Amino acid sequence: MERCLTELEERPQDRELLAEIFRSVHTIKGTTGFLGFSRLESLAHAGENLLDLLRDGRLLANANIITGLLALLDILREILGSIESTGQEGQGDDVLMIHRLHALQHDSKEYSATSGNMPAADNFQPASQKKKRIRRTKARNAAAIAPLPGAEIVKSQAETKTIEIYQAEPQAAQMRAAVNTAESTLRVDVDLLNRMMNLVGELVLTRNQILQMVSADANLTMLSRRLDMVTADLREAVMKARMQPVSHVFSKFPRMVRDLAQQLNKRVRLVMEGQETELDKSLLEAIKDPLTHSVRNAIDHGIEMPHQREASGKDPEGTLRLRAYQEGSHVIIEVSDDGGGMKVERIRDKALGCKLITRERAAQLSDRELMQLIFLPGFSTAEAVTNVSGRGVGMDVVRTNVEKIGGKVEIDSHAGKGTTLRLRIPLTLAIVPALIVHSRGQSFALPQGALSELVHLSSEQVQTQVEWMEGAALYRLRGKLLPLVFLGSLLKQQELADEPREVYIAVLNAEGRRYGLVVDGLADPEEIVVKPLSSVLKQIGLFSGATVLGNGEMALILDPGAIATQSNIGMALEGDEPEVVDANLKDGSAEYLLMQSASEHTAVPLNSVLRIERIPRAQMEWLNGVSVLRVDGALLPLKDRTDKDAVASSEGEMTVVVCRDGERHVGVAVTQVLDVASGKPLNEAGTNVATRDAVLLKDKVTSMIDLRQIPALPGSRHQNDQMETWQEDGVVEALP
């Protein structure tokens, strides 16, 4: 009905819409009268009278009438909610509301649509606004499940038959359709689904264990492959069962946008796309608040007042676009407005004003980095605090909430053109990819989402390259100081005797904070099933859960954000990795990954390296003369630069450097990865043209591997989605 009402505002003449609204109000009136809920009945009656005039065309729906009807709807919902929870209608004075509806009947001809709210509406609005928020969720669930208007009562009262009698006549056809869907679908308890998900998670663990044990027996290998496949399918099916279309969250926005726009005297058109995109139910719940916040922000801060818009040559009606789509293993939800955009100078001044950054720091930051400042706690650019937004709790909450579920927030804004906020949400929560790290003999799981790279330090390097500043350990990562946190000492684990030893630094990016976590060792990345911890252990604060690893061992899951907080790691405002590399390129030198292929030294630019893997030679396959690797269900073209002798045999392992070439990913197989070195491309003697094939690294001329020369896969058009299965955050693993 809410949807109908907002639609009615756009098409006040639509007979069918009016009839639909009328029918649902009438149903409520009839049923409640029958059941003896007098409050509901009198309210619905007042609403019906008004709708009657509208339906007969004696009155034209305007903003006032619709606001009144929406307010009526809120009260009806509130009463229904109280019936649902207590069985009573609850106390309340409806005279005001009924009077208001009456007034609308008689006076709305004199009121012009633009003259603002009625006096009665002013008194009424704040109260109903507050209650609405509480009630809406409940009512929405009911409305979403039931295909018929008025069926909210069915749920609260379970008086199904009464309703059916009422609606059988006018809506016979609709009923039949509803019955058909009822036969092919089944309502399942969420608890049961959660239990199923848990069991499937268990199955995944058992499968992992079996896969690790299987080696000798060929039959068993076959069987375990099959188990692997079935488990994967089952997992997908159960995950699908938990999926709900984002329209469940989106559907509340038309009303919200309308209310907000009216409150702020702005004109906003809401466009929603991809409502059928599906997302895990728990995730959907989790993004509800951040998304609501983003939408409020966009209307309050983004879209300008109509006269301002006209002055800058735009349509006085602003457009707010909500778009959801799937991209690989993520769902992207975009909130974009065509408003004023964010002025970088204003952000900077505001950040300085709120003392969030120092003046020196602000001068160093690029526009993009300044844009990130809005995610700092306590930041708001709204001139005045309104009751819509501007209290300084804002984007940081959005970011924290989204990162809590393993997602990311990106922002893109052009002054005068508008702002786009992109929420990147993983498809599921229950199973996450994680890197298993060791500290003092114990295993811990580190979620891959926060991991940006790994650095290996040998025991001598630990002595020389980890620098200390008054007790704080630092490491120079490509010229920038990276604060280090030692996992062993953070967890107060007992020291093992054999110092000094080699360590790994996991460079983490958590909630905008960047630091290195020092661990003793690394194991394979694994897909882990997150198990909640008991409340006593949650209080430690450093662990987000526990999991059972493939080898049957238990591991605690580290929470990178909490570790950063406990170690007092501040916000890092430096840009992302690619920018650092770009800065290097300006002075002509860049960093390269130095590798040994056969007896020759070769190199690839470091910024194109995604990760390094050791893969058994036997996994390499041939496709129309191109050597390829199968990785995560995608094909990776491979250039083999290892020994000619080794090529012939299919035994042993090879090191594959996975690189990015434009949009596709390619692999280079080499004998060994040596080091990272910076160098300059060489000019050919007598010319100013840099050769593409050679670079001076460590005072030696090293040949460059031209990634573009790696042949494309037969029939491939470098399609983007083919590469989607690749992880977003490539892990550069420095091998010893």
Partner 1 sequence: MCSVRVGQTLYGIPVTSIVEILGKPAKQPVPLAPGYIGGLVHYRGEVLTTVSLRSLLKMPSHDAVEDILVFEGADGYFGLLVDEVSEVITVLPADFEGNPSTLDDRRKALFAGTYKLSNALLVMLDPERLDPVHLAEAEMA
Question: Which C-beta is closer to partner 1: that of 559 or that of 729?
Answer: 559
Residue 273 β-bridge partners: 323
Q: Is 730 helix (H, G, I), strand (E, B) or coil?
A: coil
CB atoms within 10 A of CB 239: 19
Q: Does 213 bind partner 1 (CB under 8 A)?
A: no
Question: What angle separates helix 281-297 from helix 395-404, to the nearest 10 degrees?
Answer: 170
Q: Which of residues 488-507 bind partner 1 (CB under 8 A)?
A: 491-493
User: Using CB under 8 A, which of 186, 536, 685, 689 touches partner 1?
Assistant: 536
Nearest to 1, CA basis, from 193, 143, 192: 143
Looking at beta carbons only, is 339 or 545 nearer to partner 1? 545
For the chain, the C-alpha Rg in angstroms (whole number) is 31
Q: Which pair of tokens denotes residue 508?
A: 């983490």
What are the strands of the beta sheet with 621-623, ordered from one edge? Answer: 609-616, 653-661, 664-670, 634-640, 626-631, 621-623
Instruction: Report the distance separating Cα 424 and Cα 98, nearest Å.
Output: 46
Distance in angstroms (rounded) separating the CA atoms of residues 59 and 109: 7
Rounded to a whole number of angstroms, the minimum distance from the CB of residue 322 to partner 1 is 38
Complex with partner 1: residue 561 or 667, whichever CB lies closer: 561
- Closer residue to partner 1 in complex, CB, 10/553: 553
* Whether 279 contacts 237, CB under 8 Å: no
Six-digit token string for 728: 């977003």
Whether the Cβ atoms of residue 265 and residue 376 lie closer than 8 Å to each other: no
According to CB under 8 A, which one of 119, 378, 500, 532 is a site residue for partner 1? Answer: 532
Q: How far is the CB of 534 from partner 1 (least distance, A)?
A: 4
3-state secondary structure 671-698: CEEEEEEEEEEEECCCCCCEEEEEEEEC
* Own/partner long-range contacts of 385-392 (Cβ < 8 Å, ≥24 apart): 386/264, 386/300, 388/260, 388/263, 388/264, 388/296, 388/299, 388/300, 389/293, 389/296, 389/297, 389/300, 389/301, 390/300, 390/301
- The answer to the question of residue 191 lying near partner 1 (CB under 8 A) is no
Whose tokens are 């509301």? That residue is 97
Cβ-based nearer residue to partner 1, 540 or 618? 540
Q: Which of 28, 239, 548, 659 binds partner 1 (CB under 8 A)?
A: 548
| Piece of the chain touching partner 1 by CB under 8 A; list 110-118, 239-247, 550-558, 640-648 | 550-558
DSSP letter at 356 equals: S
In the bound complex, what is the minimum distance in angstroms from residue 237's beta carbon to partner 1?
19
Candidates 197-205, 243-251, 469-477, 716-724: pick the segment binding partner 1 (CB under 8 A): 197-205
Site size toward partner 1 (CB under 8 A) is 28
Among 202, 217, 600, 675, binds partner 1 (CB under 8 A): 202
Shortest Å distance, C-beta 548 to partner 1? 5
- Residue 113: half-sphere exposure toward Cβ, Cα within 13 Å: 9
326 binds partner 1 (CB under 8 A): no
Of the candidate residues 91, 215, 534, 687, the single one contacting partner 1 (CB under 8 A): 534
SS3 262: helix
Per CB under 8 A, which region of 195-203, 505-513, 646-654, 711-719 contacts partner 1? 195-203
Q: Nearest distance from residue 491's CB to partner 1, in Å?
A: 4
Taking CB under 8 A as the rule, does residue 442 contact partner 1? Answer: yes
Beta bridge partners of 413: 419
> Could you tell me which stretch among 56-64, 520-528, 549-557, 652-660 binds partner 1 (CB under 8 A)?
549-557
List binders of partner 1 among 551-570 (CB under 8 A): 552-556
Taken as a whole, the chain contains a residue count of 736
Nearest distance, CB of residue 537 and partner 1, angstroms: 6
Among 241, 271, 311, 540, binds partner 1 (CB under 8 A): 540
What token pair was written down for 534? 């008991």
Which of 222/540 has CB closer to partner 1? 540
Cα–Cα distance for residue pair 374/676, rounded to 1 Å: 35
- Closest distance to partner 1 from the beta carbon of 539 (Å): 7
- Could you say which residues in the range 454-493 bind partner 1, by CB under 8 A? 491-493
Nearer to partner 1, 404 or 531 (CB): 531
The whole-angstrom separation of Cα 515 and Cα 513 is 7
CB of residue 437 to partner 1, shortest distance in Å? 13
Under 8 Å between Cβ of 368 and 575 = yes
161: its two tokens: 């038959």
Burial of 343 (0-12, 13-18, 19+ CB in 10 A): middle
Q: How far is the CB of 202 from partner 1 (least distance, A)?
A: 4
For residues 500 and 488, the answer to whether their CB atoms sit within 8 Å is no
Question: What's the min distance (Å) between Cβ of 564 and partner 1?
Answer: 16
Write down the least CB distance from residue 456 to partner 1, Å. Answer: 24
The residue (of 569 and 710) whose beta carbon lies closer to partner 1 is 569
Q: CB nearer to partner 1: give 42 or 493.
A: 493
> Residue 518 CB, nearest distance to partner 1 (Å)?
15
Q: Which parts of this chain interact with partner 1 (CB under 8 A)?
A: 198-199, 201-202, 205, 442, 491-493, 531-537, 539-540, 542-543, 545-546, 548, 552-556
